[in-house]
Structure 1
Amino acid sequence: MNRTFFFSFTVLVFILGVMLGFQLRGANAGNTAVPGDREQKLAMEKKNLVEELYEMQLEINDLSTKLDQAGIGQKEAEEALRLELAKIKRFAGLSEVSGPGVEFIIQSRPGQTEPGPGRNLQNVTDHHLLKTVNELHCAGAQAVAINGQRITTLSEVRQAGEHINVNGVPLSPPYHVIAIGDTPALKGRLELKEGLVDYLNACGISVEALEKDEVVVPASDELYYEYAKIVKENM
């Protein structure tokens, strides 16, 4: 293994970090509106994510400098870079992750005729799923998936006739929303009085909440940027 390998590997990690930066910039366009206090909390969470990304980039730059100046061994350098790459991939949703969490099974309640605030009394809509995802993120969910589709800042959740498209993939009910995080906090947030579960029930939608010792959230598809290019820094 030579210096060219380490330089190429460092560049790869840097590119992933920049790609993640683009994701975070696009998050404002993908989120639905939430009440004032929740909107403020989401804004603070996004600010923290940007700060964490900046700190990661500083760590990557530091590793690159150490390769040139400190002359650390090839094996140690490779391991350090691999760990940094794994951290960024996990942060961007590019790696499968597992941990304690919850599973919410969401579907229409048969025979519901009582009026409610939903657009469609009988069917789950993209609006309902987006509200669920937002509430989970507000409760501190570290990873979320709907029917096997990882939710990232670039994910779209959109109504498409009888189906709901997530990441361009048509999904049908029941919708299994899986989230990793503090299990009691995730479940408790959605089950607050007059919270999301009560809201969905009023729309004629059934919600079953299951606490799990371990759930698996799959990785998102690989990201491709056709038009966005890396800006070279002046040496």
Structure 2
Amino acid sequence: MGSIKVKQKSMIILNFIIGIVIAINIKNLSGNQTFVTLKTIQEIENQIEIERVEVENLNKLILEKKSNIAKYEIEIEDTGSIKSILEEELNNGKIITGFEDVVGDGVIVTISDSEREIEEWEYAEDFVIHDRNVIKVINDLKIAGAEAISINGERLTTFSEIKCAGPTITINGNTYGQPFVIKAIGNKKFLKSAMEAPNSEMNLNKYLYAVGFEVEEKDKIIIHKYSGQFEFEYIKEGD
């Protein structure tokens, strides 16, 4: 009987609490208040963070523009012209976009098809260098800080394409066979470490399929400018 009385008391207390909660909710609703879910709160917080980052980027842009204006004003006071600054900015733009020859420390990565005999349970395509292998190497180099990259002499730009064409690879509209020689300018220690990391694209392929893979550090690498021409069909000058 004692346990029954305890359960009855517990039920009375529970019902009392539920009644209070319902009363509070009704009061909130009658006051034109709505409940905010955790998901809604998270969405609002994410939006606030996006706006915060946007404001931060705009502030950085404002500071950059103010710095440029101050630089122009000083140059005008000293020389009466900002021609030299504009020429410097144009040259930097050409370097960044690939329209200028560049030189610096870096690495040379050479990759080629495997020459190992293929076992009957293996796939022949795994022993051949594909565009996906080259693209992964390029991405690893970029992540490691490469500032300029070329493949078989073709300077990579924002618009460069890398695609398979049978046993060859087409880059910037030109087709090349293996071996593929990739030059990258940047911190040569970082670049070499990225290439030779245990889980890197080419180290795995070298271990599994014996593909050709060599990385050389160089104190002076010359990467020539992009030699083609861009023809824009859809991009128009902004108003």
- Please, which of 195, 201, 210 is the counterpart of residue 196 of structure 1? 201
Q: Equivalent residue for 1:229?
A: 236
Q: Equivalent residue for 2:38?
A: none
Q: What is the Cα-based RMSD across aligned positions, in Å? A: 3.3
Q: Which amino acid aligns with 2:220?
A: E
- Please, which of 57, 75, 83 is the counterpart of residue 78 of structure 1? 83
Answer yes or no: is the 8 Å Cα contact 1:112–1:121 preserved in 2. no
* Greater fraction of residues in helix: 2
TM-score under structure 1 normalisation?
0.66
Distance 2:136 2:156 in 1: 13
Answer yes or no: is the 8 Å Cα contact 1:141–1:186 preserved in 2. yes
Distance 2:95 2:149 in 1: 13
- Structure 1 residue 99: deviation in Å? 0.2
Distance 1:195 1:208 in 2: 13
Distance 2:229 2:221 in 1: 22
Percent identical across equivalent pairs?
26
CA shift in 2, pair 1:63/1:168, >3 Å: farther
For structure 1, the 5+ residue unaligned runs are 1-49
2:109 aligned with 1:109: no
Distance 2:63 2:154 in 1: 26
Instruction: Report how many residues are paired.
Output: 180
For structure 2, the 5+ residue unaligned runs are 1-56
CA shift in 2, pair 1:214/1:191, >3 Å: same
- Structure 1 residue 85: deviation in Å? 0.4
Answer yes or no: is the 8 Å Cα contact 1:150–1:217 preserved in 2. yes
- Please, which of 62, 65, 69 is the counterpart of residue 62 of structure 1? 69
Distance 1:156 1:55 in 2: 35
- Structure 1 residue 125: deviation in Å? 0.7
**SS in structure 2 of the partner of residue 84 of structure 1:** helix
- Please, which of 204, 221, 224 is the counterpart of residue 218 of structure 1? 224
Q: Equivalent residue for 1:38?
A: none
Structure 1 segment 1-235 matched on structure 2, within 5 A: 58=65, 62=69, 66=73, 73=79, 76-113=81-118, 120-201=125-206, 202-220=208-226, 221-232=228-239
Distance 2:101 2:122 in 1: 36
- Structure 1 residue 114: deviation in Å? 5.2
